[in-house]
Amino acid sequence: MSRSLRLVSLLLAVFAGTISWLARPARALTPPQGQASLPPMRAGSRMVTDEVGRRVVIPGDVRRIVSLAPNLTETVYALGLGDRLVGDTSYCDTPPEAKTKPHVGGPTNASVEAIVALRPDLVFATMINREETVDALAHLGIPVYTTDPHTVRGMIRSVDRMAEVLGAEKQGAALTAKLNTTLEELQARLATVRPTRVLFVVWLDPLITVGENTFIADALRCAGAESVISSRQNWPQIGLEEVVRLQPDYIVLAASHTGEGSRTIQSLHSRAVWRDLEAVESGRVAIISDEINRPSPALIDVIEQLARDLHPQAFAGRDGPVRSADDPGPEAVAAARKPRSDACPR
């Protein structure tokens, strides 16, 4: 199974309601009663509150990490701490070294026994993991820190918090500074452009796209795009007739490699109705890296990739200044002083 299909199958698990954390009311994410018996504080350890409000006792020296999601694995490596990762999931494939780590199952069916056998000092989880798994590990005295980013900026804050938890504040500060700088420079380039109306395709049949409150929708906004579908559902299923009515300027799809993207474009041209869409007929189909599906540091590169596809005029002279120092023009100056309110808010 290709990487993008594996990622989509994970998203479809959400659609099917098999991911319990997303299927339950928000109150299910509050600290459980079982936390009344937290492990004792040892010398050097500290108590933190994770991103879903759970108290976690973190050892003073975290040397053995288990990751329960691909984006968490990527973040550990991005912080330069891949040597501390002793286990991850079967979906963790970036960087390539992640595939060589012992796997504890998938994000939605991780084996508690396999995790325990790896003797982790800390387990990183996120909202796609089962609450039962996190609870079981916590009751066994294994600290679990859960992340929950909903936006691009939220992802960067999660990276910073993960670094702090791991005692890697310097690495975290350097990485997040780089990510924020890239994002700020990108927003400066896009300050005067009009957002491109896009349809982001999560799955073709049935046709599934992204809701307005997902981190992917936020990534689109950061890239100078806006989804033609406005839905409070995270992964709404829509009819093709609605797409025809809305006529998006661009169709955006994710692929793990160029060949897969080319085949997808060919597929659109061979499908009834799809081939008659103005965007498809005019070749306005953007194939981007499937890193768009993961709230990890690589997401920033994908946002820039998409922005370049949608707004090439904003990147003319990419090695030069963001805006001309000679005569930016009054409209450009005004727009730069008042950035788009919906673009990557802090």
Domain shared by 117 and 196, yes or no: no
Select from 127, 148, 169 the last residue of a domain.
148
- Nearest-10 crossing angle of helices 152-165, 70-78: 60
In a domain, 158, yes or no: no
Question: For 262-317, how does the pLDDT look when each residue is reduced to its tens digit (9 = 90+)?
Answer: 788 888 988 999 999 999 999 999 999 999 999 999 999 999 999 999 999 999 86
In a domain, 223, yes or no: yes
pLDDT (average), residues 167-176: 97
Domain shared by 25 and 144, yes or no: yes
d(CA 58, CA 142): 9
Residue 172: pLDDT above 50?
yes
In a domain, 168, yes or no: no
Domain shared by 8 and 141, yes or no: yes
> Which one, of 69, 83, 86, 54, lies nearest residue 168 by Cα?
83
Residue 13: pLDDT above 90?
no
Residue 257: pLDDT above 90?
no
Per the CB < 8 A criterion, the answer to whether 69 and 85 are in contact is no
Residue 99: pLDDT above 90?
yes
Q: Give CA angle at 109 (105, 111), nearest 5°.
A: 60
In a domain, 186, yes or no: no
Select from 119, 148, 177 the last residue of a domain.
148
Domain shared by 9 and 71, yes or no: yes
* HSE-CB for 266 with a 13 A CA cutoff: 6
Select from 125, 148, 171 the last residue of a domain.
148
Domain shared by 142 and 11, yes or no: yes
Say what the pLDDT of residue 189 is. 95
Say what the pLDDT of residue 1 is. 46
Q: What is the CATH number of the domain that holds 138?
A: 3.40.50.1980
> Which one, of 84, 93, 91, 80, lies nearest residue 10 by Cα?
91
Domain shared by 198 and 290, yes or no: yes
Residue 333: pLDDT above 70?
no
Q: Give CA angle at 23 (26, 35), nearest 5°.
A: 50
In a domain, 162, yes or no: no
Q: How many domains does the chain have?
A: 2
> Which one, of 282, 306, 270, lies nearest residue 196 by Cα?
306
Domain shared by 79 and 201, yes or no: no
Domain shared by 132 and 31, yes or no: yes
pLDDT (average), residues 105-111: 96
pLDDT (average), residues 33-61: 80
In a domain, 66, yes or no: yes
In a domain, 95, yes or no: yes
Rg of the chain over CA atoms, in angstroms? 21
d(CA 32, CA 68): 20
Domain shared by 210 and 297, yes or no: yes
Greater confidence (237 vs 265) lies with 237
In a domain, 229, yes or no: yes
Residue 96: pLDDT above 60?
yes
The domain containing residue 35 runs over which residues?
A: 3-148
> Which one, of 71, 125, 64, lies nearest residue 93 by Cα?
71
47, β-bridge pairs: 57
Say what the pLDDT of residue 41 is. 67
pLDDT (average), residues 85-114: 97
Domain shared by 252 and 308, yes or no: yes
Domain shared by 252 and 124, yes or no: no
Greater confidence (325 vs 228) lies with 228
Domain shared by 219 and 103, yes or no: no
